Structure 1
Amino acid sequence: MLQRLSVVDSVIVKSVLFSSTIQIGDSSRIHGFSRAIALQREAEIFFDEEGDFNQFKVFSEPIFIPPITENITIAPFQLNPVIKVGTLEVTGLSAASIVQVGSTPKIAMESRIMHIRQLQPR
């Protein structure tokens, strides 16, 4: 893995939520995972068994990751092995997202969200 010095003058972050990462510098592996059920109702009715991820297929289906079929050749040359950033300003990160200044050979991110709206009959 390439190792470089990461230099950031300033970082301004407003919010980081739900398995998100801010990484300054190199890392060997990052795995972010988040799942959520967002239920919106007009009437304030609550049931005991709500929030079971097993009842929704979206949380158990395998995610298709297409294979990389191209030949990739990398010949790195670092005259100055420093990553220099002035100001990094982030409004918000949520649901398994990442902001990184540095290098990581293995990153896997997954976010699964089920949005449900239950409206009153008209």
Structure 2
Amino acid sequence: MAFRIDRYESEKFTAGKWVGIEENSHLKVAYKGNHEYLDHLMAVEKKYQRKYGNVLTADQSLTLHCEAIALGLLKDWDNVGVNGETTAYTPELGTLALKQNPMLMEFVLAQANNLGRFDRDTPDSKSAAAEQE
């Protein structure tokens, strides 16, 4: 078979694809190399440099990365709760969740690095779960 230049759903690199996490909860995660994430990362870095200078504390650096991920990689969530209540996704809440939960941060980064998830032949996990019901 010839090399497929249309192998990936490149429009989903930025929009993200749903992936399951813990039972019936889902996260919509974009590809790490998408332009929107890279633009957000640069903008957040500039914001933090203006606010704190060129040398950041470890906490400031972690918050910077969580904010950039919440803006450019973690696009949405479904059936995710805070204090026992399901809540809608916002970048502010995403930043807080990523900072407070290292497992969530590692999961999002692993999914954002997994180019295979964006293969045209790989179903979106939320769509696949709905089809099974």
Report TM bin, short chain.
under 0.3
Q: Which one has more relative contact order, counting CA pairs under 8 Å at least 6 apart?
A: 1
Asked which structure has the greater CA Rg, the reply is 1
TM-score, normalising length from structure 1? 0.20
| TM-score normalised over the length of structure 2 | 0.19
Q: Is the helix fraction higher in 1 or 2?
A: 2
Pick the structure with more strand per residue.
1
